[in-house]
Structure 1
């Protein structure tokens, strides 16, 4: 016999006690709080908690049973009857919170687009930002998470900077793979890159602060800075990366994606990197370097991150496991100068304190045991093959932007790209327009990802029919 549900009943309101109990139980059934098959508390137990006679509660149960909402089972208890769902749909609207028409968010929040609930997945998904879940090492991950859960659980709240073992593993990993200069104390584990940007914003942005972002660029970062009251300025990007001379002189934070510019895919040249670091030092500005998917490289030697070239402590390096593992794990990190460490940890504590320690512990083992490096090598081979198919399919129709890393590429075109996106969507193919990543001066083209689509050849055949 299963446990009974803990249903909330009060004696407030009009009518005799039995009527009040009946009405509240009926409402709970009609609005779905009590679902078909759930067992109600025994009459004696509910009567004791309400400090009424058992007969009072039994009479309410009997009435609901007679109306077909409850059913009694000898030796088992009283349950919500089958068919109550039909009555819910026919007789009651969903239970909702008050509309609160007189309560409004700050005006700023009316200028930021609300998230759109995801619809059904397309048959062929060439959108950016998602790795192939079929490549995720599920067996190894389950084993490591299970081992963490079987170990002695973390008691109470813990270090806002994150799991000590994971911070050390990240420092070693980015030191070897990306030449980032960091020790475990320099690393703060976050729930993805977006939280890293949020913590940086809390610590560095005041209302009216000028923040420079790439144009075109990553919309969630732009919106996040805006939500903290920043005055966001788009800075053009050319073949060498962010145009340093176009950064507003009063910018106090510059957000860049130098290893694989989002969404164009170009890498910032060595000369432009040096110029940006020099500009930041002269203007006393912080650079946020988002190294979001540089683990996947398909040609050329990787360039040094800005963080490894920085000698003045002006670069905050942001990384994520959303592209190498899965976005749903919500695992990311930042590497910050020592001067920002305490403030960032305090900001993390004041927001959500810390993340999932079991997942962080599993990730520490995943890195330390060499499983992450092995997974990246395996996934890179698959992604490289998909990339070549996409290049071959579009190179004769579009101007490809040079790109040697990541999980997407950009193909420039004329305004017809918007029509191509719409026609593709109508036949089950999702692809994105470059215009979606631009501000006041739209650029035209397609942004094509290969992480989320496994049947690349079939998807490309259908996409080409839309050109």
Structure 2
């Protein structure tokens, strides 16, 4: 037999059936499955269909009538009442939705996932997934899950699993000569959570002035702006952050010394020493963002600021998004001794703990030497792509001047003629998709426009083809003078 009502209804055994029936019918009316004017079955018919007493259905109907969801009719079946019109989301009023805190009415940095590329392109911040040891990662994951299954369920430490913190301490000591032990490491959900936690820890809203590179990494600026910091953009040049331009009242300085984001320049040794002297004399702290420092293509890298720091003024932030893969969502902070307990407390407030299984897998991946081998293998691949990109930029020398860089997964180039910026960017979108203008990383117009090319997710042949097409288009559209 066909059901007497198109909406599926399920009633449990025992008492309370009228209440369950009432809730299911009300939900069907509210979400539109029972439209306005729809006649309900008679109490006798629905009771027979559900196998319950007629009084069970009558009680549910009486509740719906009392609440205004159903209209009774004499000598006829009740019908679904007309409810107030349901409107879609209304646009926020001018000046933003006032139920939100002022900062979030017009977010500093809009959220959004990076869509997968339709074809290989020059986008930034994306490593190559095709050469990752997926089978090895699966085996390590299975092993970690087996080990966790033998342990009682418990919340892991807020600052991270001890074995992962120890593995990270050993990794940064080997790769970047960062001197620390496991106690100094706090594991985070990517570098972005590290920035958010440091902003919570170091910023007094409306008071603390935070120096940021200009151009610089927008998500970091967003985290500090959301915490109420007063941002102070400081220019960068061929030696990195211009330390001499730091105002005296700055109390936090954020810097990407090994590979400036996005220009790629290296903070010179004299500027590193000057920055540490500034922090000492003004009682300031430095946030060292070493986001893709593992991949180096020049000589011996300069010492990290954390290595040079003797007074506990540097927070060293790292991530595995570039060396492994972004979806891993694992970063870390190497914190000075005085800030470790407060940083762990801030992590506990924001996110009681990172997931234990992935932490265990990553710890084994680092401890067993797989990370070091993977970085060496990928460095050889990225070196070939970097060489192809430099070769292509050399052919574009009438229009672009490469900015020297010895690390990372992207290269930047300045425009020789700023007046050509709009036309060049249009051709860039067509022939080198994914490449960006450095203006997207700046708070104000830049005196020297520049563009930046990523080579993490694009093969050598595609790099050459894209830049060859770009050169041909530039010769036709903007002939060299």
**TM bucket, shorter chain:** 0.7 to 0.9
From 196, 205, 208, give the equivalent of 1:198: 196
Q: 1 CA distance for matches of 2:313 and 2:293?
A: 21
Q: 2 CA distance for matches of 1:16 and 1:165?
A: 52
Q: 2 CA distance for matches of 1:366 and 1:373?
A: 9
Provide closer, same or farther for how the CA distance between residues 177 and 25 of structure 1 changes in structure 2, counting only shifts above 3 A.
same
Task: Compare CA radii of gyration and give the structure with the larger one.
Answer: 2
Match of 1:323 in 2: 322
Q: Is 1:155 paired with 2:157?
A: no
Conservation of the 8 A alpha-carbon contact between 2:109 and 2:219: no
Match of 2:284 in 1: 285
Match of 1:88 in 2: none
- Tell me whether 135-144 or 294-303 shows the greater mean CA deviation: 135-144
Conservation of the 8 A alpha-carbon contact between 1:432 and 1:448: yes
Q: 2 CA distance for matches of 1:368 and 1:450?
A: 28
In the TM superposition, 1:39-438 aligns within 5 A as 56=57, 103-109=98-104, 110-116=106-112, 118-119=114-115, 121-153=117-149, 155-207=153-205, 208-397=207-396, 398-413=400-415, 414-415=417-418, 416-426=420-430, 429-438=433-442
Match of 2:465 in 1: 458
Quote the offset at 1:117 in angstroms.
Answer: 5.2
Q: 1 CA distance for matches of 2:261 and 2:424?
A: 21
Q: 1 CA distance for matches of 2:117 and 2:327?
A: 16
Provide closer, same or farther for how the CA distance between residues 100 and 242 of structure 1 changes in structure 2, counting only shifts above 3 A.
closer
Q: 2 CA distance for matches of 1:94 and 1:298?
A: 60
Conservation of the 8 A alpha-carbon contact between 1:201 and 1:225: yes
Name the Cα RMSD after superposition: 3.4
Unaligned runs of 5+ in 1: 10-14, 32-42, 61-92
SS in 2 for 1:289: strand
Match of 1:37 in 2: none
Q: 2 CA distance for matches of 1:432 and 1:8?
A: 58
Provide closer, same or farther for how the CA distance between residues 441 and 52 of structure 1 changes in structure 2, counting only shifts above 3 A.
farther
Q: 2 CA distance for matches of 1:189 and 1:161?
A: 6
Provide closer, same or farther for how the CA distance between residues 96 and 52 of structure 1 changes in structure 2, counting only shifts above 3 A.
farther
Provide closer, same or farther for how the CA distance between residues 8 and 149 of structure 1 changes in structure 2, counting only shifts above 3 A.
farther
Conservation of the 8 A alpha-carbon contact between 1:429 and 1:463: no
Q: 1 CA distance for matches of 2:11 and 2:119?
A: 45
TM-score, reference length from structure 1: 0.80
Match of 1:79 in 2: none
Q: 1 CA distance for matches of 2:422 and 2:292?
A: 26
Paired residues, what number? 411
SS in 2 for 1:193: helix
Provide closer, same or farther for how the CA distance between residues 26 and 247 of structure 1 changes in structure 2, counting only shifts above 3 A.
same
Conservation of the 8 A alpha-carbon contact between 2:124 and 2:434: no
Q: 2 CA distance for matches of 1:6 and 1:305?
A: 65
SS in 2 for 1:182: coil
Conservation of the 8 A alpha-carbon contact between 1:429 and 1:462: no
SS in 2 for 1:121: coil
Conservation of the 8 A alpha-carbon contact between 1:124 and 1:428: no
Q: Deviations over 1:274-314 (max 9, x none)?
A: 11111110000000000110100111111100000100110
Q: 1 CA distance for matches of 2:168 and 2:32?
A: 50
Conservation of the 8 A alpha-carbon contact between 2:251 and 2:285: yes
Match of 1:81 in 2: none
Q: Deviations over 1:105-135 (max 9, x none)?
A: 2222225142245456242320111111112
Q: 2 CA distance for matches of 1:181 and 1:348?
A: 23
Quote the offset at 1:266 in angstroms.
Answer: 1.1
Provide closer, same or farther for how the CA distance between residues 231 and 103 of structure 1 changes in structure 2, counting only shifts above 3 A.
closer
Q: Deviations over 1:19-77 (max 9, x none)?
A: 8745634766969xxxxxxxxxxx99xx89xx9879859x99xxxxxxxxxxxxxxxxx
Provide closer, same or farther for how the CA distance between residues 466 and 420 of structure 1 changes in structure 2, counting only shifts above 3 A.
farther
Conservation of the 8 A alpha-carbon contact between 2:439 and 2:450: yes
Q: Deviations over 1:138-173 (max 9, x none)?
A: 111111111111223462322111011000000011
Conservation of the 8 A alpha-carbon contact between 2:9 and 2:24: no
Q: 2 CA distance for matches of 1:175 and 1:200?
A: 22
Q: 2 CA distance for matches of 1:183 and 1:267?
A: 26
Q: 1 CA distance for matches of 2:468 and 2:10?
A: 56
